[in-house]
Chain A
Amino acid sequence: MNTLKFFLAGILGVNLLGVAAALPQATGNQAALARQSSIVFAGTVSQLGATSFVGVPKSAQTIVVRVDSVLKKPSAVSLKKGDNVTVEVKDPSAFHDGTQATFYADGWIFGAGVAVKELGHEFRPSGGETPKPAGVDEKAHQQAQEQIGDQELRDRLNTADFVVIGRVMDVRRWNAPKSATTRISEHDPDWHEAVVEVQSVLKGGQVKGNKVIVRFPGRNDVAWVHSPKFAKNQQGIFCLNRDQASGVPTAMVGGRQVTVYTCLGHGDSLPMSDVPRVRSLLKN
Chain B
Amino acid sequence: MKALAAFWLRFLMLAVFVTIAGFVFVRGQSPSIKVVNLIPASLSGETNQDSEPFLAVQTVNPQIMVASAFTPNPFSASGNAPVYVSEDGGVTWVLSAITPVQRMTCDITHAMPTGENHPRGDLHAGTLACAASITLDESESNDVSSSAVMNVQSTRGNVDQPFVRALGISNSDHIYVGLNDFNQPNGHTATVDVSVDGGATYKSIPIEMRKTAGQDGPSVRPAVAADNTVYAAFFGWRKFNGTVATSDVVVVRDDTGGTAPNPFQALKDPSDKLPGRIVVKRVSIPWSNAPTLGQERIGSTLSIAVDPNNSSTVYVGWADHGSKGDIYTLHVRRSTDRGVTWSKADLPHTTIRNATNIALAVANNGTVGALYQQLSGSRWVTHVVQSRDAFATVQDVILANVPANTPTQQFLPYLGDYDYLLAVGTEFRGVFCANNTPDLANFPQGVTYQRAADFSTKTLTDGSGNPVAISIDPFYFSVPVKP
Give chain A's interface residues, CB within 8 Å of chain B. Answer: 38-39, 53-57, 74-80, 106-114, 152, 181, 183-188, 190, 219-225, 244-245, 262, 264, 266
Most B Cβ at <10 Å: residue of A39, A111, A262? A111
Q: Which residues of B contact A39 (CB under 8 A)?
A: 75
Q: B1 contacts the other chain (Cβ, under 8 Å)?
A: no
| A184-B75 contact, Cβ under 8 Å, with A110-B94, A111-B95, A225-B411 | no
Contact B92 A54, beta carbon cutoff 8 Å: yes
A-B contact pairs, 28 of them (CB 8 A): A39-B75, A54-B88, A55-B87, A55-B92, A55-B145, A56-B147, A57-B147, A74-B74, A76-B45, A77-B74, A78-B43, A78-B462, A78-B463, A106-B79, A107-B74, A107-B76, A107-B97, A112-B42, A113-B41, A184-B214, A186-B413, A221-B289, A222-B104, A222-B106, A222-B412, A223-B106, A223-B128, A223-B134
Q: Closest Cβ of chain B: how far from A114's Cβ, in Å? A: 5
Q: Which residues of B contact A38 (CB under 8 A)?
A: 75-76
Contact B145 A220, beta carbon cutoff 8 Å: no
Contact A76 B411, beta carbon cutoff 8 Å: no
Contact A114 B77, beta carbon cutoff 8 Å: no
Q: B221 contacts the other chain (Cβ, under 8 Å)?
A: no
Contact A107 B75, beta carbon cutoff 8 Å: yes
- Distance, CA A225 to CA B48, complexed state (A): 12
Of the candidates A113, A183, A225, A245, which one forms a contact with B132 in the assembled complex, judged by CB atoms under 8 Å apart? A245
Q: B443 contacts the other chain (Cβ, under 8 Å)?
A: no
- Distance, CA A112 to CA B91, complexed state (A): 12
Q: Which residues of B, 342-385, contact A by the 8 Å Cβ criterion?
A: none
Q: B262 contacts the other chain (Cβ, under 8 Å)?
A: no
Contact B464 A78, beta carbon cutoff 8 Å: yes
Of the candidates B76, B94, B452, B462, which one forms a contact with A56 in the assembled complex, judged by CB atoms under 8 Å apart? B94
Q: B198 contacts the other chain (Cβ, under 8 Å)?
A: no
- Distance, CA A188 to CA B299, complexed state (A): 13
Across the A-B interface, give the 7 residue pairs with the lowest CB-CB distance, nearest first.
A78-B463, A111-B94, A107-B75, A223-B130, A55-B94, A76-B46, A38-B75
Q: B4 contacts the other chain (Cβ, under 8 Å)?
A: no
Contact B215 A183, beta carbon cutoff 8 Å: yes
Q: Which residues of B contact A185 (CB under 8 A)?
A: 160-161, 180, 218
Which partner residue on chain B sits nearest A155 by CB separation? B78
Residues 436-478 of chain B: 1 if any A CB is under 8 Å from the residue's CB, otherwise 0? 0000000000000010100000000011100000000000000
- Distance, CA A62 to CA B242, complexed state (A): 55
Give chain B's interface residues, CB within 8 Å of chain A. Answer: 40-48, 51-52, 70, 73-77, 79, 85, 87-88, 92-97, 104, 106-107, 128, 130-134, 145-147, 158, 160-161, 180, 182, 214-215, 218, 240, 287, 289, 297, 299-300, 409-413, 417, 450, 452, 462-464
- Distance, CA A186 to CA B106, complexed state (A): 10
Secondary structure of the A contact surface, majority rule: loop
Contact B79 A107, beta carbon cutoff 8 Å: yes
- Distance, CA A78 to CA B46, complexed state (A): 9
Given A107-B79, A220-B411, A245-B133: 13 more A-B contacts, CB < 8 Å: A55-B85, A55-B87, A74-B74, A78-B462, A107-B75, A108-B96, A111-B40, A152-B77, A221-B106, A222-B51, A222-B130, A223-B128, A266-B77
Q: Which residues of B contact A78 (CB under 8 A)?
A: 41-45, 452, 462-464
| A184-B240 contact, Cβ under 8 Å, with A54-B88, A221-B412, A244-B132 | yes
Secondary structure of the B contact surface, majority rule: loop
Which partner residue on chain A sits nearest B465 by CB separation? A80
- Distance, CA A184 to CA B409, complexed state (A): 22
Q: Which residues of A contact B145 (CB under 8 A)?
A: 55, 57
Q: Closest Cβ of chain B: how far from A66's Cβ, in Å? A: 15
- Distance, CA A107 to CA B93, complexed state (A): 16
- Distance, CA A74 to CA B45, complexed state (A): 9
Contact B42 A111, beta carbon cutoff 8 Å: yes
Most A Cβ at <10 Å: residue of B87, B146, B218, B287? B218
Q: Closest Cβ of chain A: how far from B105's Cβ, in Å? A: 9
Q: Which residues of B contact A57 (CB under 8 A)?
A: 145-147
Contact B47 A76, beta carbon cutoff 8 Å: yes
- Distance, CA A20 to CA B170, complexed state (A): 60
Which partner residue on chain B sits nearest A113 by CB separation? B42
- Distance, CA A262 to CA B134, complexed state (A): 16
Which partner residue on chain B sits nearest A54 by CB separation? B92
Which partner residue on chain A sits nearest B410 by CB separation? A225
Q: Which residues of A contact B96 (CB under 8 A)?
A: 55, 108-109
- Distance, CA A114 to CA B107, complexed state (A): 26
| A183-B182 contact, Cβ under 8 Å, with A55-B85, A114-B42 | yes
Most A Cβ at <10 Å: residue of B51, B130, B133, B134? B130
Q: Which residues of A contact B410 (CB under 8 A)?
A: 225
- Distance, CA A155 to CA B455, complexed state (A): 45
Q: Which residues of A contact B97 (CB under 8 A)?
A: 107-108
Q: Which residues of B contact A77 (CB under 8 A)?
A: 42-43, 45, 74-75
- Distance, CA A106 to CA B300, complexed state (A): 39
- Distance, CA A54 to CA B91, complexed state (A): 11
| A224-B40 contact, Cβ under 8 Å, with A39-B75, A186-B161, A186-B289 | no
Which partner residue on chain B sits nearest A74 by CB separation? B75
- Distance, CA A88 to CA B167, complexed state (A): 35
- Distance, CA A245 to CA B180, complexed state (A): 19
Which partner residue on chain A sits nearest B290 by CB separation? A220
Q: Which residues of B contact A187 (CB under 8 A)?
A: 106-107, 128, 130, 134, 160
Q: Which residues of B contact A74 (CB under 8 A)?
A: 74-75
